[in-house]
Amino acid sequence: MDATPHTPTPLPGRYAEAHAASLRDPEAFWLDAAQAIDWACPPTRAFDRAAGTYGRWFPDATLNACHNAVDRHVAAGRGDQAAILYDSPVTGTKRRITYAALRDAVAVLAGVLSDLGVGRGDRVVIYMPMVPEALFGMLACARLGAVHSVVFGGFAANELAIRIADAAPKVVLAASCGIEPNRVVAYKPLLDAAIAACAHKPAACLVLQRPQAPAELVPGRDHDWAETVARATAEGRRAECVTVAATDPLYILYTSGTTGKPKGVVRDTGGYCVALAWSMPNLYDVAPGETYFCASDIGWVVGHSYIVYAPLLHGCTTVLYEGKPVGTPDAGALWRVVSEYGAACLFTAPTALRAIKKEDPRAELVGAYDLSAFRTLFLAGERADPDSVAWAERALGRPVIDHWWQTETGWAIAGNPVGLGQLPVKHGSACVPMPGYDLAVLDEAGKPVPAGTMGTIALRLPLPPGCLPTLWGSEERFRSSYLATYPGWYDTSDAGIVDADGYVTVLGRTDDIINVAGHRLSTGSMEAVLASHPDVAECAVIGIRDALKGEQPCGFVVLKSGVDRPTQAIEGELVALVREQIGPVAAFKLALTVQRLPKTRSGKILRGTMKRIADGEPWTTPPTIDDAGVLDEIGASLKGRGIGAG
């Protein structure tokens, strides 16, 4: 007997019509959304298919992102409203920065950058922790029409050097150190080492001296931030907003590439502002004047979009939190911040939620705080496991919304648009595609698959506003990385399914990018580090399932013939080497010495099969394998470390 076909459930609210309208007439939909932005020259058309690789948004419009995020709110009489609430439990510091004060600080810093030679189109690398001055730097670049590139402070010197070499910044903005709950991380020696190793030499570095670890400045190149800004303030040095084309780049943000070389994702100015402005009321259901708390980091795309630009564009108060979800001081840290500042919305990673649940399984700390203003918890960064979502729903008594996006897209591909009328939550699903995203699941031939069938999630071109138009200095790599596999589509490199109701479930990456605590990291980069060890002949890195972080990297190494040193010592050196060259953000803690790696007859390492063994999932011997016995040996090595037993 044939199974009864599933009848799609009609979706409540205004979502279905909004999404349909965005695909039926994107010109009208996005021109209407663009009215939320102040334009120097308003767009007369939304899209030019003939421009760029797949077209460009708002091709005839001009604007300034800093004006939209800061100055216009002051001009509208809201200068006394808090723009940034800085909360740093690691230093015991709190600051309330109004929109008027933010405008003044950014205008002065933009004047300083201008004096250092920064102008429209120039690049500025920002290597700073979660301090207000980092946001001032981003907005000052936008004010001048310069292009900022924020590098996460946890990255090691060689990773920073790669980004400096690619972006070729005129100036670097840095802090002397970052502060972790149990240690101080000196940034300046890492910056000095990166510049020394890099062929491109920035003309100047502006260094914020933090009292926990003041840095030595290089004469002639380095400038003390506080002294320079104080001098510019005394002299009345300010810079006004520079009008740029909507298609001009606002920033470059590097994401891991499969070859180990980071990809510089370009974000255009106009489309990004329009998309973020649309998302605040419609996806997150937050109004101007309300407090929005995104517990991320400005080194990642979530921080760019929802700590800095989106809340400020929408006239919200944004919380800048320099702390952890647990340990600063306890697992109630995020609830304390939500309560203290009356946040309507909290956006964090499933990893943070799992860490909180581990430390406070009965959610006893939730009851210690007044969460009456709090409406919704949003999760993104990696797949939110159903158990943790259900735990948070019970603990908070609030909707817990998983949504899915990428560095490349800049905002959600799929989510639950609370502002349009919340849709029913399906645990494990990121809900439905956002307006502008024409999403399908494709088979290997590029054909859409039936509902409920796994395949590669792809987005029909053109991508909506806010998504990357290209990669920095590498149009061909943009085409080959994202557009070549399925002509006419953007390949997300994520596997998943779409059910009969249109709900999207993301199952994992289809390439070698692994997701560690919401951070996308390249196993290829880690393999390059392992292979540099003098005792290593060959290696492979896979991501294995981890209950807290989503995935953890695991390295397999084959030693060179004749090496007779203790394997335990070599494995310890390998862990330290990855930490040194990639940084602690890689969370690389496990290296396994094996006799050989499983390969196909053509020499391709069977990483996918190794991952299934490590995750304790069913697996079969691929017909192309060179030697089937090696898979059993891999399984035995993993089980010897307590991994892969199911």
DSSP string, 219-278: TTTEEEHHHHHHHHHHTT---PPPPEETTSEEEEEEE--TTSSPEEEEEEHHHHHHHHHH
Phi–psi pair at 181, nearest 5 degrees: -55, -35
CB–CB of 136/228 below 8 Å? no
Per CATH, is 518-640 categorized as 3.90.1150.10? no
State residue 511's pLDDT score.
Answer: 60
Which regions of the chain are under pLDDT 50?
A: 1-3, 258, 602, 646
Q: Which helix (H) or strand (E) holds 132?
A: helix 132-144
Short-list 296, 506, 316, CA closest to 402: 506
State residue 619's pLDDT score.
Answer: 84
Residue the block writes with tokens 């100047």: 204
pTM of the model: 0.84
CB neighbours of residue 450 within 10 Å: 10
Phi–psi pair at 394, nearest 5 degrees: -65, -40
State residue 645's pLDDT score.
Answer: 53
State residue 594's pLDDT score.
Answer: 93
In sequence order, the β-bridge partners of residue 459 are: 439, 490
State residue 156's pLDDT score.
Answer: 82
State residue 604's pLDDT score.
Answer: 63
Enter the tokens of residue 263. 């990809």
State residue 605's pLDDT score.
Answer: 78
SS (H, E, C) 575-643: HHHHHHHCCHHHCCCEEEECCCCCEECCCCECHHHHHHHHCCCCCCCCCCECCCHHHHHHHHHHHHCCC
Burial 527-536 (b: 16+ CB within 10 A, else e): bbbbeebebb
Short-list 219, 139, 151, 221, CA closest to 187: 151
Enter the tokens of residue 166. 């690619």
DSSP state letter for 537: E
Identify the sign of the CA torsion 548, 553, 559, 565.
Answer: negative
CB–CB of 237/115 below 8 Å? yes
Residue the block writes with tokens 């001296």: 209
CB–CB of 577/156 below 8 Å? no
Phi–psi pair at 341, nearest 5 degrees: -105, 5
State residue 399's pLDDT score.
Answer: 97
- Beta strands 183-186 and 177-180 are antiparallel
DSSP string, 455-507: EEEEEESSPPTTS-S-BTT-HHHHIIIIISSSTTEEEEEEEEEE-TT--EEEE
State residue 340's pLDDT score.
Answer: 98
